[in-house]
Amino acid sequence: KVPAQLDRVARTTAGAQRLVGDMLDLARGEALGREELPVHAVLEAARDAAGERAAHVDLQCATDLRFPLHPRLFARALAALVDNAIAVATKAPTVTLRAAVEGDRLVVDVTDDGPGVPTELAGKIFEPHVTGRAGGTGLGLAMAARIARAHGGDVTLLTTAPEGAHFRFDVGRR
């Protein structure tokens, strides 16, 4: 039992080290290494990053859909939105990740039935250190926006409180 736990700790540590390296590359403005990935697997990674709290995350994506993405950063950007939906909810939210290709763009909609983004924060929610929750750093959505731009796209907020939140990632092939 102990060797299996140590193996899990080693894998988790190695994954965290790769993600830190990826984030440093992004901060330095280095070009993203993108791979043609199964989008469904990227959505699963975003859901799985939330752990047990992700019991109400619905994935809607063709299992054969592939798109050039950074293997860890794009999942991390989506995970930031899932994390936010869970963190601000007063009850277990339902979060839906829906992905489709439109022309040469990948569009990923992230919706939830939580309290939504307060109207007074909507215009600046992607700025660093802007947060609507106690103890929040305001870095998750700023990082998500930077990752989307590094993928040749953007992330936008389409709805505000009290309707729940609806974010859209729209990224290009190259």
68: preceding bond cis by omega (within 30 degrees): no
Q: How confident is the model at residue 70 (pLDDT cuts 50, 70, 90)?
A: confident
- The pLDDT tens digits of the residues spanning 124-148 come to 999 988 887 777 888 889 989 988 9
Residues 6+ apart with CB under 8 A from 37: 66, 67, 68, 69, 71
The model's confidence at residue 38, banded by pLDDT at 50, 70 and 90, is very high
> What is the structure's pLDDT at 173?
82
For helices 73-88 and 39-49, angle between their N-to-C axes, nearest 10 degrees: 40
Residue type at 158?
Answer: L
Is 171:152 a contact under the CB 8 Å cutoff?
Answer: yes
Spell out the alpha helix ranges (H) of the chain: 2-27, 39-49, 73-88, 119-122, 140-150
pLDDT at 108: 96
CA distance 115 to 118: 8
pLDDT band per the 50, 70, 90 thresholds, residue 104: very high
For residue 130, what are its two tokens? 């802007």
SS3 24: helix
Q: 83-113: b or e for each residue (b if 16 or more CB lie within 10 Å)?
A: bbbbbbbeeebbbbbebeeeeeebebbbbbb
Does residue 89 register a pLDDT over 90?
A: no
pLDDT for residue 98 = 95
